[in-house]
């Protein structure tokens, strides 16, 4: 199976691209944290001022990213959410939040209500039922939940109406493979 993304450029042109040939443009300082996964999306949360930053205006971006295994045909868009904040003390990016393994769906939405703390949300499946759009062939969960978080300084706090538990799970067979590999390692 192949994954195709419907993409749109700044001028409004749209077209389909093979997901394996698409790279998301993120700063190298964040890209090194991909840990063998594909970065599906990187979204600007806000910018912070650091007088020692190497940027021209000393403003450094903070991001929420979503990542997926490098495997086609998965029943979800991403399995990990990470927030990278800028440490004013150490003058580098640090992981402020990590949620995995989940079965998340695009889009990720970022808002900044009334100039306050940035808020981001994404979709999770609410059950195992799947629907397929007959026009595009895109399969999505029949029922989705919206999970919302807020970035306050360098801390990520869950907010929003849906405060229920977030289902975490591995890909079918992945947990078994990890267990077998661990057992094999112990025998050595």
85 lies in which domain range? 30-171
Average pLDDT for 133-138: 78
148: confidence class by pLDDT, cuts 50, 70, 90: very high
81-105 burial, b if ≥16 CB within 10 A, otherwise e?
bbbbbbeeeeeebeebbebebbbbb
User: Does 119 fall in a domain?
Assistant: yes
User: Does 84 fall in a domain?
Assistant: yes
User: Does 152 fall in a domain?
Assistant: yes
User: Does 87 fall in a domain?
Assistant: yes
Q: How many domains does the chain have?
A: 1
Interatomic CA distance for residues 25 and 17, integer angstroms: 15
Q: Note the pLDDT tens digit of each residue in 73-124.
A: 888 889 999 999 999 999 999 999 999 999 999 899 999 977 789 999 999 9
User: Does 4 fall in a domain?
Assistant: no
């Amino acid at each position: 199976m192949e994954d195709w993304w419907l993409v749109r450029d700044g001028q409004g042109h749209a077209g389909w691209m093979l997901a394996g040939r698409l790279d998301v443009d993120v700063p190298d300082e964040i890209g090194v944290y991909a840990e063998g996964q594909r970065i599906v999306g990187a979204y600007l949360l806000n910018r912070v001022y650091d007088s020692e930053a190497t940027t021209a205006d000393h403003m450094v971006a903070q991001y929420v990213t979503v990542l997926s295994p490098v495997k086609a045909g998965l029943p979800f868009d991403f399995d990990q959410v990470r927030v990278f904040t800028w440490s004013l003390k150490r003058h580098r990016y640090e992981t402020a939040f990590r949620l995995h393994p989940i079965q998340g769906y695009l889009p990720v939405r970022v808002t900044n209500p009334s100039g306050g703390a940035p808020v981001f949300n994404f979709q999770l499946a609410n059950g195992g039922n799947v629907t397929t759009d007959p026009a595009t062939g895109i399969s999505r969960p029949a029922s989705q939940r919206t999970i919302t978080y807020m970035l306050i300084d360098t801390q990520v706090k869950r907010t929003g109406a849906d405060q229920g538990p977030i289902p975490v799970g591995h890909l079918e067979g992945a947990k078994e493979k990890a267990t077998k590999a661990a057992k094999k390692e112990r025998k050595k």
